């Protein structure tokens, strides 16, 4: 198996036809077909389904595509790291963010990397946490923000931020005495809209309820999209348990309300993670340093609402 065969395979996947892929990688279509045939023979499996309209990946092709991208990325990282020894960090860095923290982190990290690491091509991807975990394992991401629910041991990670969670809901139409907080027990009884398992805060909430000897959350709908969840709250279709940051604008404008959870207080730990088995490129290491500092500044300046910076390192 040769690197060029992996590049040809990825090109065919991306362009959907042999002719377009051949033009992209600057070889004859017959030579491209021959190289793919050798690759499929070595793997013992067909990678594409052919049709008049082009090609699509087989089940084996889908699996191999993840590994091919990871291998090619690691080769590019190695080349960039060697080149960076004598100059500023450069190269592509793919950084994964969960939906519920992108509002706090995305723009500050982009601005800081652009200012401090001008030769780094930062690509932010916003995904569900379960998807981010899989992509980080496969090597499709260099770095990712994940939530430390006690199951991050497969990664190298640093717990950086403790983020308080609140009950968030549409304000009542009748005015009356406004509570300052809500017990965890009472919050769990509300008609809740939460991310589906195993994404986001769902496992954290369910484990906290179990540890406190409380009933599971009263989930009336599973919604893993922050934008759909926001619209559902604004329509009065239910309540949620999340940090306030994704709904900061709506809370400040009075469209939504939030009550901190007590007895016990509920929080989630935000961690910066990367794969144990894949060395970080020089560029990715530089981005991780910038991201850590950005998160610390956002907490210390109270820009990241209800967030406290954690200095201790974890997962080494």
Give me the CATH topology for the region 3-70. Arc Repressor Mutant, subunit A (1.10.10)
What single-letter DSSP state applies at residue 239? B
Q: List CB contacts of 30: < 8 A, sequence separation 6 or more.
A: none
Identify the CA nearest to 292 among candidates 94, 126, 160.
Answer: 160
Q: List CB contacts of 53: < 8 A, sequence separation 6 or more.
A: none
Q: Where are the alpha helices (DSSP H) in the chain?
A: 3-15, 18-25, 29-43, 59-84, 99-116, 129-138, 184-189, 202-211, 226-234, 248-252, 282-300
Is the pLDDT at 143 greater than 90? The verdict is yes
Question: Which pLDDT does position 311 carry in this prediction?
Answer: 67
Structure tokens at 32: 């491209």
Most confident of 233-247, 271-285, 298-312: 233-247
Tell me what the pLDDT averaged over the chain comes to: 89
Question: Which pLDDT does position 186 carry in this prediction?
Answer: 96
Q: Is the pTM of this model over 0.85?
A: no
Say whether 310 sits in a helix, a strand or coil: coil
Cis peptide before 198 (omega within 30 of 0): yes
Q: Which residues on adjacent β-strands are paired with residue 166?
A: 242, 260
Contact 202, 193 (CB under 8 A): no
Identify the CA nearest to 108 among candidates 263, 250, 275, 296.
Answer: 296
pLDDT band at 313 (very low <50, low <70, confident <90, very high): low
Domain 88-160+269-309 identical in fold to domain 166-265 = yes
Domain spans of the chain?
3-70, 88-160+269-309, 166-265
Does domain 88-160+269-309 sit in CATH 3.40.190.10? Answer: yes
Task: Give the right CATH number for 166-265 from 3.40.50.300, 3.40.640.10, 3.30.40.10, 3.40.190.10.
Answer: 3.40.190.10
Question: Which pLDDT does position 72 carry in this prediction?
Answer: 82
Q: Report the share of the chain in percent with pLDDT over 90.
A: 54
Is the pLDDT at 123 greater than 90? The verdict is yes
Backbone phi and psi for residue 57, each to the nearest 5 degrees, phi listed first = -70, 140
Identify the CA nearest to 1 among candidates 64, 78, 73.
Answer: 64
């Amino acid at each position: 198996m040769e690197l060029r065969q992996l590049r040809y395979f990825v090109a065919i996947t991306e362009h959907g036809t042999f002719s377009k892929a051949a033009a992209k990688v600057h070889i004859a279509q017959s030579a491209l077909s021959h190289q793919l045939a050798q690759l499929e023979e070595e793997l013992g499996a067909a990678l594409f389904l052919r049709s008049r309209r082009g090609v699509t990946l087989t089940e084996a092709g889908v699996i191999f595509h993840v590994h091919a991208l990871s291998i090619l990325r690691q080769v590019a990282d190695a080349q960039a790291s060697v080149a960076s020894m004598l100059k500023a960090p450069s190269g592509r860095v793919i950084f994964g963010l969960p939906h519920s923290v992108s509002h706090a982190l995305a723009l500050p990290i982009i601005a800081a990397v652009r200012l401090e690491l001008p030769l780094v091509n930062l690509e932010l991807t916003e995904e569900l946490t379960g998807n981010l975990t899989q992509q980080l394992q496969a090597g499709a991401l260099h770095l990712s923000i994940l939530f430390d629910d006690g199951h991050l041991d497969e990664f190298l990670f640093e717990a950086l931020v403790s983020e308080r969670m609140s009950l968030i809901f549409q304000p009542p139409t009748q005015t009356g005495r406004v509570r300052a907080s809500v017990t965890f027990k009472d919050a769990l009884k509300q008609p809740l809209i939460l991310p589906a398992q195993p994404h986001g805060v769902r496992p954290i909430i369910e484990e906290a309820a179990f540890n406190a000897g409380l009933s599971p959350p009263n989930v009336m709908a599973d919604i893993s999209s922050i934008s759909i969840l926001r619209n559902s709250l604004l329509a009065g279709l239910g309540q949620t348990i999340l940090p306030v940051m994704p709904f900061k604008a709506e809370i400040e404008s009075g469209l939504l309300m939030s009550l901190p959870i007590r007895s016990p207080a509920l929080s989630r730990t935000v961690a910066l993670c990367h794969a144990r088995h894949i060395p970080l490129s020089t560029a990715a290491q530089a981005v991780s340093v910038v991201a850590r500092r950005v998160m610390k500044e956002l907490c210390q300046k109270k820009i990241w609402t209800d967030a406290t910076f954690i200095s201790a390192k974890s997962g080494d």
